[in-house]
Homo-oligomer: A and B are copies of this chain.
Amino acid sequence: MSSIDDQRELPTFNSAGLAPAIAQDADTGEVLMMAWMNQEAWEETLQTRRVAYYSRSRKALWRKGEQSGHVQELVEARVDCDADTILLKVRQAGAACHEGFRSCFFRRVADDGKWEVCETRLKSPDEIYGH
């Protein structure tokens, strides 16, 4: 018996059961963050259209924005040529970064080789997590 479920394709997860997932603002093209997905996060994200990752530090499903409200609505999911990297086009509520920046990539390498903040902070981390 075949069903729609049987036809679904899965990314290739690595030996730890994970694949890197890049979140990109669907409207502006800004790269917001990179995190990891396991199969559960992948399936929940496609079903709910709200992005979930796998937290390697907490070893648990991480529903992005669950604490902060800074959720990511899925617009489109893509895979790369090897299907082992995921690209998520999302609508980001507020700041993607726990440091209060829109994107986690808020520092560029300056001419002297040091990091240099090149984006504007939207919120302080305290404001995000209500401390």
Where the two chains meet, the residues of A that have a C-beta atom closer than 8 Å to any C-beta of B are: 4-5, 7-9, 20, 22, 24, 28-31, 33-34, 46, 76-83, 85, 87, 97-99, 101, 104-109, 112-115, 118
Taking a contact as CB atoms under 8 Å apart, the answer to whether A80 and B114 are in contact is no
Q: Which residues of B contact A78 (CB under 8 A)?
A: 105-109, 118
Separation in Å of the A90 CB from the closest CB of chain B?
12
Separation in Å of the A116 CB from the closest CB of chain B?
10
Q: Which residues of B contact A104 (CB under 8 A)?
A: 80-82, 85
Known interface pairs A9-B115, A81-B101; 17 further A-B residue pairs with C-beta atoms within 8 A, sorted by A's residue number: A7-B112, A7-B114, A20-B20, A22-B22, A22-B31, A22-B34, A28-B29, A34-B34, A76-B109, A77-B109, A78-B107, A79-B109, A80-B104, A81-B97, A83-B107, A85-B104, A85-B105
